[in-house]
Structure formats: structure tokens, C-alpha cells
């Protein structure tokens, strides 16, 4: 009875793989085996027989030889990838790459991806990477990688194909908003993500851009607030926190960033099936932002940790959320290390905003909707003004020189070509006018 013997060994292997030592070891004292198994459902013998039979049929009939080890690895990958788009089995290479991505340096194209209807979908391109420079947009569907279809492929398999040696080329076939497929050629690079950038965008008004939530992002945002305050010489009149096309990252960092703008109250809480997935994070009394008027920019590429920050600030009415609906990834993934440098990345909880809103598959709806648009001048006046002439006399009243808009050497401002950012700045200025009245 070869099938019965094979079934017995497979059942034992599956019981060991599917048992709970990793998840439950630090939650309760280890109970004797009979007591621990009393409430567990019995193993589905019919399905195990089918599993064993499928393995035997593949080994006997598949066009190329395949080992039990390969088949079991593939079965484990299938178990994880069919749970949801964010759960995955990580082999040693994928596990190492995940650790690299949260530390801020990794190789590839700079795209955060998910799955939709069996296709690979772009969640967000990361700033200053081959993907963003090539004009890839959130929501683009990747239908082919180097001419090979992605339909039905797992997210981890697609990511593996897109990664490669820096300097090597790859062609992605994309579909945008139901249009015709088009090809984009990219050159892979070592992706060095600068998590936080900041600058003054107008006298009294600061700008902080968070591209991804890494381990040190909370600390970096605190430093950016101090830097802007020093540059301004006094308390800021307003601040834009830009979370557009931010695919998320480390949960704790999102909490720290939100805490910089809050003095009290809940920031986020999570709910799951296991006790250690029930977490609550609250703000401390310090407010690094000094209560500065705040606009938070989001769009369809703002996901996960970005939505935690935007949702917390929105619920506490700490700032005005502007832009378009966010991505809607309201689930928490936990990485569970296994033996042999492998790991499971598995969804263990859903997170909720302070008011109890689940963001999963819904996203954050902005307080002020501002669609993406391109700013263009109706006409540029090429004529020179007095202030453009070398050696011109200054203004006797002490006013600042006003050269022509097209004068050489005039520095471009970030909001000049960014409609959403310009509207955020206008809103902040309007708030200050209203307060002054």
C-alpha cells in the first residue's frame, strides 16, 4: 500500500509544518500534546490522499524529473500566495531582500506591487528610482515581464523576475486605466531610498516628504521639523506632509511619525486572531510640530503605514487630508522566521484608525479632493525687466527686486509643477488669513 505509507509521512510533515510552535510559543505555557489538540479539527484525510496522489502523478508523468523537495516547496508557496496578496513564503534570497528593503537599500526597479485579478498591479513607484523616472504610475497593471505574461503568477515570483543585477535592462508591458498595452524599458539599479526629505517651499511654510516608512523614519521626521524651524527662524506658519506614492513600511515608524503631530489619544490599533496581534499605540504629550497648521497629501499610491498616519491625523482633526483616495491596504503582515534562513510573511491582523475605521479595501477618503493635474503657463513673457539687468539700481523703499518669471537663474519651486502641492500651500495660507481675521 504505497499510497497509505506516503499519506502517513505526508500527514506527519504537514502536521509539523502547520502546527503552532512559532506563533504561540510566547503566548501561553506549553500544554501537553493531548490537551493542545483536543479542540483542533481532525486532519482532512480525503484532501491528504488527493495531495499524495497529485504528488505521485506529477513525479510519474511530468515532462521533466521533479523531486519531493521541489514539490513540497511549491506547495508551501501555494498555501501562502492563495491566502491574500500580501502573504508569502520567503526562501533565503527573498527573506534577505525583504530585510534589505526595510533598511533602505536594495536592488531592482523601485516598485511596490500587489495583485489584482491575477495580474501584478503597481501600488506605488518609489521616488528617484528607475520606476518613477520612467513614468510608471500607481494602478498600472504589469501584464508582461520581458515578454512573458504575469497572469496567474504570484507576487513573489514577479518580484523575483524584476530584481536583477544593477545595470541590466528589463522590459515591462503595462496597461493603464483600461488602455492598450505599452512597453517600458528600464535599467535596474541599486535602490537607495531616502526616507525623508524636507525644505521651505515659501516664507514660513515647510514641506516634508516621506517616501517610505523605514526603521529610522520617525527620528528623521523629528529632525526635519527641527531643521525647518531653524531655517524659518521662528514657528512655522504651515506645513505640508507629503505621503503620496508612499507604499508603507514599518508600523512602528508610522506610529512615531503620527506622534510628532499629536499630544494625546490613540494613533492606531490592530485586531487579529492571536493575542499578540491585539496592539494599541497612543501618542505621548510632546508635540514636535508645535501645533503648526498641517495639510497631509495622499493619493492612490499611499498605502499601509501611510494610511495609518493620514487616518490618525484625520480622526484627531489635527490636519486637513488632501488629494485622492488612498490605496486601502489595512492589513498587518508579520514575518515569522523559519529554519534554514526561510520565513513566512503572513497577514496576522487588520488595523483601525482611532475612530474605529478599518481601511482595508476602502482607503482614506481625503477631506479635500484634489485630482492630479499638470500646471502649465498659458504664455511665458520672454521680455526682460529692469531687475534682470546687470548692475541695476536697487529699490529705494527697501522692497525686493522682482525679475521676470522667465529670467535666467530663477530657481524653480516644488509647487510650480505640482498642482496638488500648490493647492495645499494655498489652503494653508487661506487658513492663516482666516485666523488673522
Which residues, at least 6 apart from 228, have a Cβ–Cβ distance to it below 8 Å?
A: 198, 199, 200, 206, 208, 236, 239
* Nearest partner of 99 among 299, 314, 335, judged by Cα: 335
For residues 104 and 181, what is the distance between their CA atoms, to the nearest angstrom?
32
From 329, 331, 418, 422, active-site residue: 329
Q: Which cell is 164 given? A: 536583477
Q: How many CA atoms lie within 13 A of 211 on its CB side?
A: 20
Catalytic residue flag (residue 304): yes
Catalytic residue flag (residue 331): no
DSSP state of 405: T
> Mind spelling out the 3-state secondary structure of 101-147?
HHHCEEEECCEEEEEECCEEEEEEECCCCHHHHCCCCCCCEEEEECC
Q: Are 239 and 228 in contact (CB under 8 A)?
A: yes
Q: What is the DSSP string of 233-297?
A: TS--SEEEEE-TT---B-HHHHHHHHHTT-SSSEEEEEEESSGGG-EEEE--S--TTTT--EEEE
Q: What is the DSSP string of 412-429?
A: PPGGGG-HHHHHHHHHHH
For residues 350 and 368, what is the distance between their CA atoms, to the nearest angstrom?
26
From 87, 253, 304, 331, active-site residue: 304
Q: Are 137 and 116 in contact (CB under 8 A)?
A: no
Q: Print burial letters for 378-412: b (CB count within 10 Å at least 16), e (below 16).
A: eeeeeeeeeebeeeeeeeeeeeeeebbeeeeeeee
From 91, 259, 315, 418, active-site residue: 315
Q: How many CB atoms lie within 10 A of CB 6?
A: 18
Enclosing H/E stretch for 333: strand 331-337
Catalytic residue flag (residue 329): yes
- As a residue count, the chain comes to 437
Residues classed as catalytic: 304, 315, 329
Amino acid at each position: 500500500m504505497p499510497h497509505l505509507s506516503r499519506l502517513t509521512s505526508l500527514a506527519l510533515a504537514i502536521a509539523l509544518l502547520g502546527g503552532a510552535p512559532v506563533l504561540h510559543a510566547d503566548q501561553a505555557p506549553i500544554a501537553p500534546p493531548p490537551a493542545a489538540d483536543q479542540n483542533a479539527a481532525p486532519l482532512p484525510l480525503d484532501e491528504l490522499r488527493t495531495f499524495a496522489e497529485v504528488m505521485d502523478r506529477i513525479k510519474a508523468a511530468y515532462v521533466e524529473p521533479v523531486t519531493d523537495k521541489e514539490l513540497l516547496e511549491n506547495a508551501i508557496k501555494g498555501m501562502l500566495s492563495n491566502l491574500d496578496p500580501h502573504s508569502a513564503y520567503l526562501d533565503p534570497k527573498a527573506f534577505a531582500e525583504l530585510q534589505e528593503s526595510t533598511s533602505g537599500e536594495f536592488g531592482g526597479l523601485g516598485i511596490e506591487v500587489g495583485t489584482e485579478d491575477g495580474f501584478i498591479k503597481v501600488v506605488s513607484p518609489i521616488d528617484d528610482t528607475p520606476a518613477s523616472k520612467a513614468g510608471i504610475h500607481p494602478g498600472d497593471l504589469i501584464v508582461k515581464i520581458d515578454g512573458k505574461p504575469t497572469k496567474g503568477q504570484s507576487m513573489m515570483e514577479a518580484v523575483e523576475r524584476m530584481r536583477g543585477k544593477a545595470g541590466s535592462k528589463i522590459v515591462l508591458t503595462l496597461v493603464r486605466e483600461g488602455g492598450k498595452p505599452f512597453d517600458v524599458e528600464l535599467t535596474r539599479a541599486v535602490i537607495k531610498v531616502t526616507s525623508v526629505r524636507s525644505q521651505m517651499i515659501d516664507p514660513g511654510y515647510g514641506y516634508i516628504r516621506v517616501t517610505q516608512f523605514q526603521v529610522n523614519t520617525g527620528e528623521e521626521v523629528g529632525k526635519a521639523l527641527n531643521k525647518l524651524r531653524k531655517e524659518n527662524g521662528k514657528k512655522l506658519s504651515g506645513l505640508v506632509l507629503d505621503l503620496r506614492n508612499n507604499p508603507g513600511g514599518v508600523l512602528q515608524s508610522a506610529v512615531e511619525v503620527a506622534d510628532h503631530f499629536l499630544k494625546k489619544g490613540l494613533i492606531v490599533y490592530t485586531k487579529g486572531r492571536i493575542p499578540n496581534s491585539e496592539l494599541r499605540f497612543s501618542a505621548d504629550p510632546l508635540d514636535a510640530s508645535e501645533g503648526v497648521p498641517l495639510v497631509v497629501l495622499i493619493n492612490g499610491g499611499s498605502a499601509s503605514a501611510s494610511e495609518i498616519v493620514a487616518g490618525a491625523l484625520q480622526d484627531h482633526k489635527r490636519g486637513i487630508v488632501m488629494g485622492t483616495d488612498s490605496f486601502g491596504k489595512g492589513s498587518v503582515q508579520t514575518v515569522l522566521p523559519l529554519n534554514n534562513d526561510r520565513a513566512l510573511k503572513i497577514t496576522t491582523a487588520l488595523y483601525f484608525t482611532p475612530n474605529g475605521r478599518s481601511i482595508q479595501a476602502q482607503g482614506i477618503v481625503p477631506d479635500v479632493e484634489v485630482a492630479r493635474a499638470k500646471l502649465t503657463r498659458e504664455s511665458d513673457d520672454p521680455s526682460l525687466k529692469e531687475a534682470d539687468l546687470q548692475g541695476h539700481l536697487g529699490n529705494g523703499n527697501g522692497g525686493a527686486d522682482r525679475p521676470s518669471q522667465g529670467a535666467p537663474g530663477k530657481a524653480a519651486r516644488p509647487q510650480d509643477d505640482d498642482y496638488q502641492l500648490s493647492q495645499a500651500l494655498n489652503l494653508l495660507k487661506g487658513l492663516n488669513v482666516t485666523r488673522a481675521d
